[in-house]
A and B are shown apart, each in its own frame.
Chain A
Amino acid sequence: MATRDNQAQSFGSRLVQVGFLIAVLVLWYLATTRWGVNRLLLPNPVAVWQQLLDVLRSGEYLPDLRVTLTELVIAFALAMTSGTIVGFFVSRRHSTIRVFDPLFAAIYSIPIIMFLPLYVLFFGLGPASKIALGATISFFPIVLSTIAGFGNVDRTLVTAARSMGASDFHLFRYVLVPGALPVILSGLRMGFTIALLSIIGSETIASLAGLGHHIVQLAEGMDMARMFAYIAFVVVIAALLNGLVSFLEARGRRWA
């Protein structure tokens, strides 16, 4: 529940955030118009804005956006399904938690993106390798948060439910899932973010299509203003997707 103080505070921090962005834009503008930074390295923000409008009007981004979003949706769906199912079964016993929790945490700390060449060898240059890599990378935060979520459901609540005659299904549906959900949801949000990150990242390294692919192409064509426009476009898309996921996450824990 936001108090007046809280609201004033969050308004204050919003103000600083907006101010920071404006300052960056102003510095960027000055750097290109007054301080003589090479246009090939840093295009004029006004030119970038015009390019962005052109990209949006023409709709030429659609095929690449479709490829990237398809990869993202499939990768995330795979990671979500496997991560939550594996996480749930691992969380059922102390012994399996002791084995798998540190194991997954250790793998999670490796930069899995370095296996991209291997993924390309196995799955080709097309979307399949991006999906496989994205799914692999986002599996880990999801499985770890699922183990933590189910593993840390308050024992008293489980005992209370059992004392009232709850069946295994009741326990799962009405106690374990809602109890674990807040933690699982933050894992899903994290998994989503890094799935997007790794998919766009791997598109820029080795791919045939997608937003990351397009950005690299523009860079190689020295079309810097348009490349920046695409970057801005991807930033907006990513922000929208993250906003959507955060919204869903907040809805999942509205009781707290």
Chain B
Amino acid sequence: MTAGDLAVRVQNVSHQFGEPGDVQHVRALLDTSLDIKRGELLCLIGPSGCGKSTLLNVIGGLMRPSGGTVEVTGKPVRGPRPHDIAFVFQENALFPWNTVIENIRLGMLFQGVPKSEHEPRARQSLEAVGLTEFANHYPSQLSGGMRQRAALARALSLQTGILLMDEPFGALDEQTRMILGEDLSVLLSRTEKTIVFVTHSLGEAVFLADRVAVFSARPGTIKKIISVDEPHPRKPDFVTSEKFTTLRNELYALLHDEIRKTVTASSAGGLA
């Protein structure tokens, strides 16, 4: 693999919250290294608190790791990189006082896109997520699924090479998640974006990802990376295929022990 094929290089990243000895001290991430190829969709999956969201924030420059380095397109990350990286957060990251289209325009204003491009790019990204008719709605007037589509449209309008998604469908019901997952797969097959997608859902990970990075329990590090060799856009019947089931079971086996460890540790520590 040459450097040009690499979108993100994570080297020996560790992160801890608080200082050793503090009550609040948590070692979230331990000596994690990861190469993310240009144009691939990588899912991060693991037990809660394993540091997958932390890793995402470190890659996006929203958090400075306690140790290690991250390079995005060959340059070290020292803070937000709005021209390279766009985020879709778990929920409620739309500005509630702005309509959907105002939210999208605002993102471009922040990023520094010339004013004349705002309208066409906003329309285009709204169309891509199927929200054209809701351009002038406020977030509070939309369902949870539509809000996440709007957040995705805002991220797409920024036209970054990398998209970081932190459990974007985590707060949605199972059916809405499925539909959004299918739409996302279609959408992404048309772009060259590199995507890092944090999820709790095994099915979601297998359905969307080119590779799935499985995290160990806290302090988290990558335990294994599984490849999902299936072209995008993925059809709904991929879910019922034997390949899907096998991969899902493999993931389940990998995760099960880690989740059990997390639950046992937290109940022993009185945190549960």
Query: Known contacts being A154-B92, A156-B92, A256-B140, is A164 close to B97, with CB within 8 Å?
Result: no
Q: Is the interface of B mostly helix, strand, loop or mixed?
A: loop
Contact indicator B110/A164 (Cβ below 8 Å): yes
Query: Known contacts being A174-B106, A255-B97, is A163 close to B85, with CB within 8 Å?
Result: yes
Give the size range of B's interface with the partner. Answer: 20 to 34
What 16 new A-B contacts, CB under 8 Å, besides A163-B86, A165-B112? A156-B89, A159-B93, A162-B62, A162-B80, A163-B60, A164-B80, A164-B87, A164-B106, A164-B111, A165-B83, A165-B111, A170-B109, A170-B110, A174-B110, A255-B96, A256-B96
Query: B238 at the A/B interface (Cβ < 8 Å)?
Result: no
In the assembled complex, the Cα of A157 lies from the Cα of B95 at a distance in Å of: 7
Query: B138 at the A/B interface (Cβ < 8 Å)?
Result: yes
- A–B Cβ pairs within 8 angstroms, 27 of them: A154-B92, A156-B92, A156-B93, A157-B93, A159-B93, A160-B89, A163-B60, A163-B61, A163-B62, A163-B82, A163-B85, A163-B86, A163-B87, A164-B80, A164-B87, A164-B158, A165-B80, A165-B82, A165-B83, A165-B112, A174-B110, A175-B95, A178-B95, A179-B97, A181-B97, A255-B97, A256-B97
The interface residues of chain B lying within 8 Å CB-to-CB of A163 are 60-62, 80, 82, 85-87
Chain B, 89-127, contact with A by CB distance < 8 Å: what is the 0/1 string?
Answer: 100110111100000001101111000000000000000
CB distance from B51 to the nearest CB of A (A): 18
Which residues of B from 193 to 241 have beta carbons under 8 Å from A? none
Of A164, A166, A181, A255, chain B has the most CB atoms within 10 Å of the CB of A164
Contact indicator B62/A255 (Cβ below 8 Å): no
The interface residues of chain B lying within 8 Å CB-to-CB of A178 are 95, 97-98
Chain B, 144-164, contact with A by CB distance < 8 Å: what is the 0/1 string?
Answer: 000000000000001000000
Query: A161 at the A/B interface (Cβ < 8 Å)?
Result: yes
In the assembled complex, the Cα of A35 lies from the Cα of B15 at a distance in Å of: 82
In the assembled complex, the Cα of A114 lies from the Cα of B96 at a distance in Å of: 43
Chain B, 36-70, contact with A by CB distance < 8 Å: what is the 0/1 string?
Answer: 00000000000000000000000011100000000
Which residues of A from 219 to 238 have beta carbons under 8 Å from B? none
CB distance from B115 to the nearest CB of A (A): 14
CB distance from A212 to the nearest CB of B (A): 39
The interface residues of chain B lying within 8 Å CB-to-CB of A157 are 92-93, 95
The interface residues of chain B lying within 8 Å CB-to-CB of A170 are 109-110
The interface residues of chain A lying within 8 Å CB-to-CB of B93 are 156-157, 159-160
CB distance from B126 to the nearest CB of A (A): 17
In the assembled complex, the Cα of A166 lies from the Cα of B96 at a distance in Å of: 17
The interface residues of chain A lying within 8 Å CB-to-CB of B107 are 164
The interface residues of chain B lying within 8 Å CB-to-CB of A156 are 89, 92-93
The interface residues of chain A lying within 8 Å CB-to-CB of B112 are 165
Q: Which single residue of chain B is at the shortest CB-CB distance from A178?
A: B97
The interface residues of chain B lying within 8 Å CB-to-CB of A167 are 110
CB distance from B175 to the nearest CB of A (A): 25
The interface residues of chain B lying within 8 Å CB-to-CB of A181 are 97
Of B85, B89, B97, chain A has the most CB atoms within 10 Å of the CB of B97
Chain A, 89-123, contact with B by CB distance < 8 Å: what is the 0/1 string?
Answer: 00000000000000000000000000000000000
In the assembled complex, the Cα of A170 lies from the Cα of B97 at a distance in Å of: 15
The interface residues of chain A lying within 8 Å CB-to-CB of B61 are 163
